[in-house]
Structure 1
Amino acid sequence: MRFLKKKNRKMLNPFTSLPSSQSMESNQKDSLNTSLQQNIQTLKDTLGKSSDIIIREIRIGKEGTIKAGIIYTDGLTDTPSLQNFILETLMLDIKEIDLHKKSPEQNLISVLKDVALTVGEIKEETSFDAILTSLLSGDTIILLDGYAEGLIISNRQWAERGVTEPTAQTVVRGPREGFTENLRINTALIRRKIKDPQLWMETKTIGTRTKTNIAIVYIHDIADDKIVKEVNLRLDRINIDGILESGNIEGFIQDSTYSPFSTIYNTERPDVVAAALLEGRIAILVDGTPFALLVPALFIQFFQSPEDYYERTVFGSLIRTLRFIAFIISLLAPALFIAITTYHQSMLPPALLLSLAAQREGVPFPAFVEALIMEVTFEILREAGIRMPRSIGTAMSIVGAFVIGTAAVEAGLISAMMVIIVSITAISNFVSPSYEMAIAVRILRFVFMALAASFGLFGIMVGLIALILHLCSLRSFGIPYMSPIAPFNTSDQKDTFIVRPIWKMITRPHLMNQKNWIRQQDSTAAKPEPPENKKDEGSS
């Protein structure tokens, strides 16, 4: 029945199929005309009275008998190169060439492309839609009277932000360069780090109106062909009028839409993307945003930071262990406090129990309502600090939390211990190097608080079991989300909870690629042994 409904809906939809006459008319309209005036008029009718579209008609050739049209978008086109290499060539230099003296197999368009114009990238095009897309992307269009094709000259240039230090993912030690909003600069930053001919970059255009350029980046002899095919398949299924940020792409291709845990990793650091490509992952770059997407994404990946591999192994392992401890504190600290103080007071030492009872003597709310008020207040202060100007946002959030917490304790609305618990929870949440994981913990914290207030420690245990089952059920492009923990892989534990020395990371993650597992040949050869202490020959 569902299949029949879809079939009937498709038959009744007037936009799914066009009659043959309409299709022929659309194809004719999409092609250029041999009349220059008609092509220019079609451009004017399509673009309206747009003041940034510059259309100039000139005459070229030895006698100036050939009419030509130069069309470009002001603000997106490199005007100096247009004047020096296109207009000057067509109006001055080309007069020395007799364009009518050409071989029979050559037309005037080919002569201009092969002989006259001294620019890097030139493409012939007969489709009006492709001409329009290139024009609005910043290219210069040359149309000739009597020819139903034009030249697309790539000389794009617009105001853009330079390569600066990433603000969302900062490190103490490591590169200070981050992605920009220019797709070509971002691909160059990756190519500069991986100078391998097997680094392939496929480009797609998504968005019927925005025509956003998307780049799929992977190392051909490392990445799994099935995952590359799946990424292309999911991107090709996107049919929307506009893509403005990589988050729009993420919403279409992610595996689990309603899970609080993200199955796609995003970063604005080229070194993170380069390291992920060397492991067999695939990067998706979107023009207009500095954030790149990495797939497949695993749970353990959200606890990894670039400086784990730039510092000494002991320091990296210690910091990563600290992140896991902070994750548990930020997830369960308020829930455990509510459960113990409400249902399991006998678990506390008598001195601590008396102290907590004395603090809560004048508090009118139960522990759950008390924690809920403080958590919501801290969330409001956190969001206010992010949205406000940077110069006052941090100071406002710190001062606001201190003033509100102190005033609430003195007014008898909140106990002092609850302020301490919520403060430790909020600070632990900032330890996470991934903003997506921090948001997921913030959401689940309220769920565990409700379970603790309703069922005590039993509710927390049931919630943890449900959380683990949910995590184990997730997949990212066919890869289990909890790997290499579940399913457990012994060889991949070298970069899970601790960081082993880089000269011991011989193999890549096994589930990421099925082609080239070997990262380096021999760990003993890569790590030279210190020389033995030998006695001098003359010593006794």
Structure 2
Amino acid sequence: MKFIRKILDPGHGSASKAQRQESAPKAPLHASLAENIRFMKEKLGNSGDIVIREIRIGTETPIQAGIVYASGLVDTHSANSFIMETLMLDIQKTSVGHDLSSGHNLLNQLKDSVLTVGDVQQVTDFTPLFTSLLAGCVILLLEGYEQALSIDMSGWEGRSVTEPVNEAVVRGPRESFTENLRTNTTLIRRKINDPNLWLESRKIGRITKTEVAVMHINGIANDKIVQEVRTRLDRIDIDAILESGNIEELIQESTLSPFPTVYNTERPDVIAAELLEGKVVIIVDGTPFVLVVPALFISFFHSAEDYYQRADISSLIRILRFIGIFIALLGPSLYIAITTFHQEMLPTQLLIGLAAQREGVPFPAFIEALMMEITFEILREAGIRMPRTIGQAVSIVGTLVIGQAAVEAGIVSAAMVIVVSITAISNFVFPSINMSISIRMLRFPLMGLAASFGIFGIIVGIIAMVLHLCSLRSFGVPYMSPLAPIIVDDLKDTLFRLPQWAMFSRPRLVSQKNVIREQNPPTTKPHPRE
């Protein structure tokens, strides 16, 4: 906690991020081109992937120039066509190439009249120069100038847009985010073609300088939430951000809660829907998982496919999903409590059958469940880490073989294998892997309470869990809304889903302005044409 507080609190034991940036030593460029190139080679350790090309610009009084870029981060073909060819050949046909000593600033002339590139920035210090160079920009240095041009020519190899891996649907878009931030923002803008979709970029990480983008729809998102997101991101002072999980852990409210308070997804359609509800999106370069805040508890149980099917089908699927969640959380606990303390709750024939199965088992039900749950978790983790060609086969075959062998050896009962298997299968109904992990974690303390106090221990555990959930907030929004506090208008899309024509308002605690989706919502179900 102290470590997290030190990172997030700019006044805790160290100067703020802005103060450190202001006090950082400046390294201005030199007027000598040779000195600038020497300094760059020294700071970059003469790295082999840094290309330095010295050329001459002009015809009558040529000026020495240097072009520097990082191989692999730059689109080499475009750099050769739009920079080198322009400066070495095309410039000779212009007045700039014949009049380099006219007293005008040559950098401005090149920027305004020669270079046919969209993003060209002028830099005067080595710190932003190195940042631009290692971000995929081409640096143009001139002899006699203490400034340089940073020309954005980024173009590295990346993964193409593919089908989502963790959030597959039967009906709906089949595209997912990639590791390229610009590709991800493009996928979102394809869904929301509106000028009010605003994007803010910032660099986070003293060493990695990872680009982080914040997107929201102006006029729908709550301004206080947007400002809170900016504040928390600006307070982060760490050396590296390698994945959106690093950002998530540093901006969430409660670090000790097992429940996630920041939502993440790899689907552009889900992000578009969240933006239209008034939420704020955080995109981190280098990862396909995009963060959404504020996160509500009920959102982790909704799937993108719920909104592409009819309302009755979606509601039925949600009911089945919540039943699966109930089994995943309380299945082993209820079995332990009933077989240990409350045998009178079982039918006589079932009780006799369970007693016969457990006759040769040397362990109590709690130890049985604990061994089987740990075994299943090990097999699940092994199936994920193994090569894909054998991972599934090992996990499935290993589960069957170990379960059958354990029953035959008399270590566990057959009923316990069935209960643990149904629990493990029910764990896969969660659309969000984060909430699935939380439920898996909470299953073990509930098993301990069931073994100690029976049904009463389970009830106490559930009450404590509900109280904890009601105390959580995500960026100032109650985590359990619209269930606690209850908001009747927002219950149209919680446990059930009403038809699209009935969901004409946005969540009121998330978007407190422009809450109406439809200007003239129908009061009754629309009738078919006669």
Q: Please confirm whether the aligned pair reaches a TM-score higher than 0.5, indicating the same fold.
A: yes
- Residue 97 of structure 1 pairs with residue 111 of structure 2: no
Deviation by residue 1:201-237 (Cα, 9 ceiling, x = unmatched) = 0001001111100000100110000000000000000
Q: Which amino acid aligns with 2:118?
A: G
- Is the Cα contact below 8 Å between 2:61 and 2:101 reproduced in 1? no
Match of 2:80 in 1: 83
Contact 2:62-2:100 within 8 A present in 1 as well: no
Structure 2 partner of 1:347: 345
User: Aligned partners of 1:368, 1:528: CA distance in 2, in Å?
Assistant: 55
| Structure 2 residue corresponding to 1:185, chosen from 183, 186, 209 | 183
Aligned to 1:456: 454
Structure 1 runs not aligned, ≥5 long: 18-22, 533-540
Q: Which moved more, 1:215-224 or 1:394-403?
A: 394-403
C-alpha distance in 2 between matches for 1:531 and 1:291: 44
Matching of residues 518-533 of structure 1 within 5 Å: 518-524=516-522, 528-532=526-530
C-alpha distance in structure 1 between counterparts of 2:101 and 2:506, whole Å: 57
Residues 214 and 287, structure 1, Cα contact 8 Å, conserved in 2:
yes
Is the CA contact 2:330–2:446 (under 8 Å) kept in the aligned structure 1? Answer: yes
The whole-number CA distance in structure 1 between the counterparts of 2:515 and 2:398 is 52
Partner of 1:174: 172
Q: Is the 8 A contact 1:63 1:95 kept in 2?
A: no
In structure 2, the CA distance between the partners of 1:124 and 1:472, relative to structure 1 (3 Å rule), is same
Q: Any idea what SS the aligned residue of 2:65 has?
A: strand
Q: Which whole-Å CA distance do the structure 2 matches of 1:321 and 1:315 have between them?
A: 10
Question: CA offset at residue 25 of structure 1?
Answer: 9.5
Worse overlay, 462-471 or 385-394: 385-394
The worse-fitting range, judged by mean Cα deviation, of 385-394 and 504-513 is 385-394
Q: Which moved more, 1:517-526 or 1:242-251?
A: 517-526
1:251-271 deviations in Å (ceiling 9; x for gaps): 100111111100000000000
Structure 1 residue identity aligned to 2:76: T
Give the Cα separation in 1 of the matches to 2:23 and 2:207.
23
Q: CA RMSD in A?
A: 2.1
Q: TM-score, normalised by structure 1?
A: 0.93
Is the 2:502–2:521 contact (alpha carbons within 8 Å) kept by the matching residues of 1? yes
Inter-CA distance 527–340: structure 2 relative to 1 (3 Å threshold): closer
Amino acid at match of 2:149: L
Distance 2:204 2:125 in 1: 18
Do structure 1's residue 195 and structure 2's residue 193 form an aligned pair? yes
Q: Tell me the CA shift for residue 55 of structure 1.
A: 0.8
CA drift of 1:24 comes to 9.0
Structure 2 contact 277–510 (Cα < 8 Å) conserved:
yes
Q: 1:162 to 1:357 in 2, by over 3 A?
A: same
Q: SS of 1:87's equivalent?
A: helix
Query: 1:29-76: CA deviations, max 9, x gaps?
Result: x21111111111110111012000011111111225311110011111
> Separation in 1 of the partners of 2:196 and 2:94?
43
**Alignment correspondent of 2:68:** 71
Structure number, greater radius of gyration? 1
Q: 1:309 is matched by which residue type in structure 2?
A: Y
Show the 5 A alignment for 1:50-449: 50-99=47-96, 101=99, 106-449=104-447
Aligned to 1:37: 34
Ranges in structure 2 where 5+ consecutive residues have no aligned partner: 17-21
Q: Residue in 1 aligned with 2:476?
A: 478
How much has 1:322 moved relative to structure 2? 1.1
Q: CA–CA distance in 1 between the matches of 2:100 and 2:498?
A: 68
Match of 2:19?
Answer: none
Q: Partners of 2:528 and 2:478 in 1: how far apart?
A: 41
Change (3 A) 1:531 1:121: closer
Counterpart CA distance in 2 for 1:261 and 1:519 is: 30
For residue 308 of structure 1, what is the amino acid of its counterpart? D
User: Residue 535 of structure 1 aligns with which residue?
Assistant: none
Q: Structure 2 counterpart of 1:264, which letter?
A: V
Give, in angstroms, the shift of residue 274 of structure 1: 0.1
Cα distance change on mapping 1:439 and 1:143 into 2, 3 Å: same
What's the CA shift for 1:16? 5.3
The verdict on how the C-alpha distance between 1:389 and 1:107 changes in structure 2, with shifts beyond 3 A counting, is same
Post-superposition Cα deviations, 1:368-397, rounded to whole Å, max 9, x if no partner, equal 001101000111111111111222211211
Q: Which deviates further from its counterpart, 382-391 or 487-496? A: 382-391
- Spell out, residue by residue over 1:168-207, the C-alpha distance to the aligned partner (whole angstroms, 9 max, x if none): 1110000000000000000000001100000000001001
Partners of 1:47 and 1:208 lie apart in 2 by 16
Q: Give 1:204's aligned amino acid.
A: R
Cα pair 1:34 1:146 within 8 Å, conserved: yes
With structure 2 as the length reference, what TM-score do the two structures score? Answer: 0.94
Please list the CA deviations of residues 502-526 of structure 1 after superposition, one character each: whole Å capped at 9, or x if unmatched. 1111100000011110001223289
Which residue number in structure 2 is paired with residue 20 of structure 1? none
Number of residue pairs aligned between Structure 1 and Structure 2: 517
| 2:199 maps to amino acid | M
Assess if the C-alpha contact under 8 Å between 1:62 and 1:98 holds in 2.
Answer: no
SS state of the match for residue 359, structure 2? coil
Q: Is the 8 A contact 2:210 2:241 kept in 1?
A: yes
Distance 1:526 1:40, change over 3 A: farther
Seq. identity, %? 62
Tell me the distance in 1 between the aligned counterparts of 2:502 and 2:24. Answer: 65
Following the alignment from structure 1 to structure 2, what is the Cα–Cα distance between the partners of residues 135 and 193?
Answer: 32
Distance 1:196 1:16 in 2: 40
SS of residue matched to 1:137: coil
Q: Which moved more, 1:247-256 or 1:120-129?
A: 120-129
CA distances 1:276-300 after superposition (whole Å, capped 9, x unpaired): 0000001000000000000000000
Paired residues of 1:61 and 1:97 also in contact (CA < 8 A): no
Sort the Cα spacing of 1:156 and 1:527 in 2 relative to 1 into closer, same or farther, 3 A.
farther
- Once the 2 structures are TM-superposed, how far is the Cα of residue 103 of structure 1 from its aligned partner? 11
CA distance in structure 1 between the partners assigned to 2:23 and 2:362 by the alignment: 77
Q: CA deviation at 1:105?
A: 8.4
Q: Deviations over 1:108-153 (max 9, x none)?
A: 1011111111222211111211111110111100010111111111
In 1, Cα distance between equivalents of 2:345 and 2:162:
52
